[in-house]
Each structure stands twice: as structure tokens, then as C-alpha cells.
Chain A
Amino acid sequence: MSPHAAHTVAALAGPVLDPVVDLRRMLALHFMVNAFRAGTIVAVLAAVVGWLMVLRRQSFAGHTLAVVSFPGAAAAIWLGVSATAGYFAGSIVAALVIALVPRSAAGRPGSQESAVIGTVQAFALACGALFVSLYGGFLDGITGLLFGSFLGVSDGQVLALGAVAVAVLVVLAAIGRPLLFATVDGPVAAARGVPTRALSVAFLLLLGCTAAEVSQVTGALLVFALLVMPAAAAQQLTARPVVGLALAVGFGLVVVWVSLSVAFWSPWPVGFWVSTFGFALYLGAIGWRAATARYRRRPVRGTGVAGERVRARALSSGAAGA
């Protein structure tokens, strides 16, 4: 029985609302086990990289790198090679293009860079449309690529996701300290001999790999749900890097597990659930912070801008250590 048919049968039967029985029935299906494995890997990776991305204010680049995995996958399907390879190829190429942009132009700082990012994104999506047209139409596939599908995750794909995730996390652990330094205070880091430019290129590449991973679960358009929302929620609640990272990972896992379970029993797409639960969590974090701010003795440092408090804290602790 195909995953699609098996899911239809199970979902039509409906949940019996006994968590143990429902969980057992859900996990009796192999594709669902794979979906949970893939979702777990992706949630951990996205939370860690997303936390840094929010701190570095590269949300736009992250979104573009994710979206770009769509033409990669479409091209791979058109050429008859594995879609997983296409996801990674698309995102990594786009990360290199964005990294190579010269950093100077008229207008506000960074405006030229954002124009490049926007153009890369739109052109890549146009390429995706071209590949789909060349392939001769896989209309059902398009919505899967764009909005996610948990039905088709194979054993090999889980293995590839796991291997790439471990590689990204190892590299991130290796460059973590200087990267955080360069992120929090670029000019000072550069003056102290930290290779900020190389670090920024390396981070874009890691971000590209992560975006490609996430888009295989949430679809190319909804990567933000796992990349930004858990990290942004965590940064609302704490300014400590380690606690924040742990919180972000926890949030990501909860969002993915709950969304997969709900999506399994509901007729609505998994992408909708992931983004809805992620957004609810983010709103909850903002509400929590606003509610507790009143009872704190010290005024909250910084504004509501994401990363501002993390920055402020890292700077003051760095100054205290020096």
C-alpha cells in the first residue's frame, strides 16, 4: 500500500482520542516513523542555525535560501536525479551567489544586497516554474515541494538529513565562538583579527544547507516556521546564548512533533500546522515577556527588536570579562 493510501485509510478511521492507542496506530506506519525522524533532525538543526540567523538579522537571506531549494528540487525531478541532491544544490549555489555580492552601493546600507537577494529569489523561483513547465507538469508535486509533505520521506532521505545535520552542527561548534563574537560586535571582532568576512560566508553556506534540510519537511515556502519562529520565541524569553539555544531546540521539537501528529489525523496540510503552532508559540513568548516584564525589578534591557537583548548581554559580559 502506498503511503498516500495508508494515510487516507488511517486518517479516515479517525483518532480514538486515547493518546497511547493513537500514537501506536500512527507509528505503525513506516512513513510516519520516517516523518518523525526527519522532523526531529530538522527541528534541532533549524533551531540552532535559526537562533544565530535571527541574531545576525539574516532572515531575508534565510528565506531566499529556502525558497531557492524549490527550483533545485524541480530541476532534479526534471533531470531524473534525487530530489534531495537538488534541494542542497539549489541552496548552496544561492548561498555562494549572495555571499559574492560586493558590499557597496547608493541608498541605505545593505539596500543593494537586499536587491540582489530578492532578485536571486525571484529568478530562482522563475527557474523552478520553467523546470516544471519543461517536465510537463507535476501539479500535485508542486504543492508538495512548496508547502511540504510528510508522506514521502524515505529511509535514505532520513540518513542524508542526519548526516548533513551532524556535519553542519560540527562545523558550527568549531566556528561558534568567533562567529558569535563577529555577530555581536563585527568591527571589534575584525579589529581583534577575527576573519569576519570568511565567517559570514561560512555561515551563509551552513544556512543554505539548513534551509535545504528544512524545506524537505515543511516545503520551500514555510521554512520560516521552523527557522525563525522557535528562535525568535526563545530570544524573547532569554538573553543567555546557551539557555536560548536549548529553548529554541525544545520549541522546535514540540512544534514539529505536535504538528506531525495533528496533521496525520487532519485533512489539512502539515505546513499549515507547523506555521500555526510556531506562530502561536512566538505570540505566547511575546505575551509572556510582556506579562512578566512588569514584575521584574530591573527594566528590560534593549527594545523588542530580536537579538537586541542577546547582543546587549553578550557585550556587557564581554566587557566584564576583559
Chain B
Amino acid sequence: MTTGAFFVLAHPFLESAFAAGTAIALASGLVGSVVVLRGQVFAGDALSHVAFTGALAALALGVDLRLGLYGGCLAFALLLAVLGRRTGADDTVIGSVFAWVLGLGALFLSLFTASSSGTGGNGTAGVSVLFGSILGLTGGQALVDVAVALSVVAALVAIGRPLLFASLDPAVAAARGVPVRALSTVFFVLLGLTAGVATQAVGALLLLGLLAAPAGAAQRMTARPYRALWLSAAVAVGSMWTGLTIAYVAPVVPPSFGILGVATTVYLATFAWPALTRSRRPGLRPTATTASAPAAATATGGGTGAR
């Protein structure tokens, strides 16, 4: 295993993939945990589709892809924050808006593919935005990604305590003087940044998995919000490393599939684990507090079991 790991790191493109991937997974795991806690997974879904349109719009206009990516994500994140302030915004509004934005993305894709005669290069650009191209990151891109992802992590850690309070019980938090609205806006901005940075790693369509799967798994392992936060980050980073290694060993597997495959398997394991342990030890009621760090192995079913 260790020799394998050293072999993997012998290639410069893998080095940047691992560096950027680790930072992105850390950010997605932490942000995703709060997203799941706040019940805003659908907003993450919408953002991931907007990321596609933003990137394709930038490509069609001939500017840097990341300009459109971050611009689109941040603009839509702020729109969601404003819409969420009025109670009128629900899944239907979000869904209608993002379906139209996605339609615009289809338009930009066709404009971009039509704009130059070479079919190969442009066609793959659209697909790599959709499904990610972490192995194609250059050193400079990776550096920017690491910087953005780590600043998201730092910001989230800084506002972590009040944010969790406001997420779990907004009414009580507001009564205690926590700036619930401002926190919500800041969180949406962080979510937008995460969506932008994660799109380059796993693609616009799959970043939702990096937000939802580790967070969902962590939430099933422990009922404590703080522990779930870090557990989620650990699962995300673990999935990233394992997935990248799988993709390297078996080139037919796209890296995005490797990463999401591992994350989904961990999540699935958290469903299977309590069922298995319960059938073996029928008298024992697992408690929510016994789960500890390493991924699925120690899950005792804080979610279903404890209820």
C-alpha cells in the first residue's frame, strides 16, 4: 500500500490532483455537513447545475472558465440567499429557476461547440465541465483551488459554532442574538465557492455527491453536530484519496466515478451496519455517543438505532 502511494505521487499531475483534491474534499465535507443539517441539499443541486452554465458561458464568450464558474455560482448563491429570506422560495421556485439556467447552459454548449470547426476539443470541454477533470489540473490551477478551498474551510471553522446553532434551531438562535440571516447569506456564499471549486474536481453534475454522501454518512454515525462535521470531512478526504488511486490503477474508471463510488459505498455501509449489529446482538441498544473517528468501521447507527 505504501509503495503504491509513493508510486502514485511520483507523477506531477497526480501530485496536483491529490493536493487540490484533498483541499476540495475537506471543504466539501465540511460545507456539505452543514448543507445536510440545514436541509438545503436541493440548493446544492441547483448550484451544481448553475456551475455548468457559468463555465460554459465563460467558454462561449472566450474568457477564463473559472471566471464564469465562480461568477455564476456566487451570483446564484446570493440569489438563493435573497429568495430564502422571503418564505415564498421553495423547491418549485428554485427548480424552475435552475431548470431555465441549465437550459441556458445547453445553449452556451451548442454555441461553444458550433463556434469552432474542430469538433473534438470543444466537445470534450463540455463533458469535462459536467463530469470533472481532476487529473488534468495544472500546478497553477491546483494552487488556486487549494487556496480557495482552504479559505472556505477557514471561514467555516470561524463561523462554525453560531452557524450550527442557527442551523439546528433558528428561532432560539435568533432570540439569543445570533445573526441568523447574515450567517445564512455567508453560508450560501461559502456553498457557492465550494460548488465552483469542486466542479473542477468532480464536475458540475457530481459535486452534489461530494456534498451529500460524506455528510449523510457522518450524520448516521453520530448525532453530535461537531463530530459529524469532522467525520464528514474525513470521509470526503478518504473517498478522494481512494477514488483517485482507483482511477490511477484502472484508467478506464473516470476519477469522478472512483471518488463518488467510494463515498457512496461508505454511505451505504452506514445503512447496513446497524442492521447487521442489531441482528447479531438483539438485546443491545446502540447509543448515539459511541461512534468515533475512522469511517464506517465504528458506526453504531446514531441515526436510526438511537431513536
Contact = CB atoms under 8 A, between A and B. Distances in A.
Interface stretch (A11-19, A25-33, A118-126, A165-173): A118-126
Given A57-B91, A269-B106, A304-B87, 5 more contacts: A115-B41, A118-B44, A143-B123, A275-B102, A279-B99
B301 to A, nearest CB: 10
Interface of A: 54, 57, 59-60, 63, 67, 102, 104-112, 114-119, 121-123, 125-127, 129-130, 133-134, 139-140, 142-143, 146-148, 219, 221-222, 224-225, 228-229, 232, 267-269, 271-276, 278-279, 282, 303-307
B107 A268 contact: yes
Secondary structure dominating the interface of A: helix
A108 B37 contact: yes
A122 B132 CA distance: 12
Nearest to B303: A105
Interface of B: 36-39, 41-42, 44-45, 49, 86-88, 90-100, 102-104, 106-107, 109-111, 113-114, 123-124, 126-127, 130-131, 168, 203, 205-213, 215-216, 219-220, 223, 225, 228, 252-254, 256-257, 259-261, 263-264, 267, 271, 302-304, 307
A129 B127 CA distance: 9
A221 B49 contact: yes
B99 A229 contact: yes
Given A122-B208, A123-B264, A303 B103 contact: no
B95 A59 contact: yes
A267 B110 contact: yes
B38 A108 contact: yes
A137 to B, nearest CB: 9
A272 B107 contact: yes
Contacts of B92: 54, 57, 59, 228, 232, 306-307
A275 B103 contact: yes
Contact of A305 (B87, B123, B220): B87
A303 B304 contact: no
A228 B99 CA distance: 9
A229 B96 contact: yes
- Give me the 3 closest cross-chain CB pairs, A-B, nearest first: A122-B209, A275-B103, A115-B216
A48 to B, nearest CB: 16
Nearest to A226: B99
B96 A119 contact: no
Contact of B206 (A126, A134, A272, A304): A126
B107 A107 contact: no
A115 B212 contact: yes
Given A126-B257, A129-B254, A119 B213 contact: yes
A104 B307 CA distance: 8
A221 B208 contact: no
A278 B100 contact: yes
Contacts of A142: 127, 130
B130 A146 contact: yes
A140 B123 contact: yes
Contact of B100 (A107, A134, A140, A276): A276
Chain A CB count within 10 A is highest, among B39, B44, B86, for B39
Residue in B106, B220, B271 whose Cβ sees the most chain A Cβ within 10 Å? B106
Nearest to B271: A102
A208 B168 CA distance: 32
Given A122-B213, A224-B95, A271 B106 contact: yes
A146 to B, nearest CB: 7
A232 B96 contact: yes
A67 B205 CA distance: 10
Nearest to A102: B304
Contacts of A125: 131, 205-206, 209
B90 to A, nearest CB: 5
A271 B124 CA distance: 20
